[in-house]
Chain A
Amino acid sequence: MKKSFTKDQYSKYVEEVSPKSKLFTNVLKAFLVGGIICDIGQLFINLLKSKGLDSDAVSSITSIIMIFLAALLTGLNVYDEIGKFAGAGSIVPITGFANSVVSPAMEFKSEGYVLGMGAKMFIVAGPVIVYGICSSIIAGIIHYLIT
């Protein structure tokens, strides 16, 4: 009697506590890896700024470098390993966007270069572009009407 009670209590306790602590470690990992990826970006920004480039060029070149690195690491199957550890920490940065382009493109290469690779590249990036561009156009129209 006593034993089953403690067992029940225990399983209840596990149910209550385990998702929380899992959430905490997941969030911590995402925070750390996301922070590191942003610092790598900051490193390139500082380097390019010290070369005397203007801020538009600096941010464009930084994006290109970060996307190149993420695409390369995805090709080498390294980025997905980082992703298993980091979760959102590797999804949310622009490197995750690059990963979302390369990963399905590689996977669907066997279905051909046009409708396999060419089309499936945008399986995640497509919606991002659609919603990003549409919302920015709406924001632009509102900005035009207000000013």
Chain B
Amino acid sequence: MTYLSAFIVGGIICAIGQILIDKTKLTSARILVVYVVAGVVLASLGIYQKIVDIGGAGATIPLTGFGYNLAKGVFRDVDETGLLGAFTGGFKAGAAGLAAAVFFGFMMAAIFKPKAKK
């Protein structure tokens, strides 16, 4: 059951991205920026938590989930340490993903060669 709901929710989030790309000619970089900010906003409004409850990985794996994660971390830290939390929570919550992207990104780019352009 979790696989079916993750598939559908994740699929829909990606399908919306495809519609945005085809209809608005947004570049993929802009799509990713829009998705992260949308995740932060939807998480702040308490909407994204409901999507996560339904979709599991279908909601956390898309980049909106990264925004949700940032907002969740910020809110948790604000509740614990006050205004300071607004500055510490985001990077703390995103630490694993960001560090992994930087580290594996560097390693793979150092090891592999780009495919020759045709």
Contacts and interface: CB of A to CB of B under 8 A. Distances in A.
Chain B binds chain A: yes
Interface of A: 22-23, 26-39, 41-43, 45-46, 59-64, 66-68, 71-72, 74-77, 80, 86-89, 91-98, 100-102, 105-107, 109, 113, 117-118, 121, 123-125, 127-129, 131-133, 135-137, 139-144, 147
Interface of B: 2-3, 6-23, 28-29, 31-33, 35-37, 39-41, 43-44, 55-58, 60-67, 69-71, 73-75, 77-79, 82-83, 85-87, 89-91, 94-98, 100-102, 104-115
B101 A67 contact: yes
Majority DSSP secondary structure for residues of A touching B: helix
B21 to A, nearest CB: 6
Contact of A38 (B28, B35, B62, B69): B62
Contact of A106 (B63, B71, B100, B114): B114
Contacts, number: 284
Nearest to A72: B108
A139 to B, nearest CB: 4
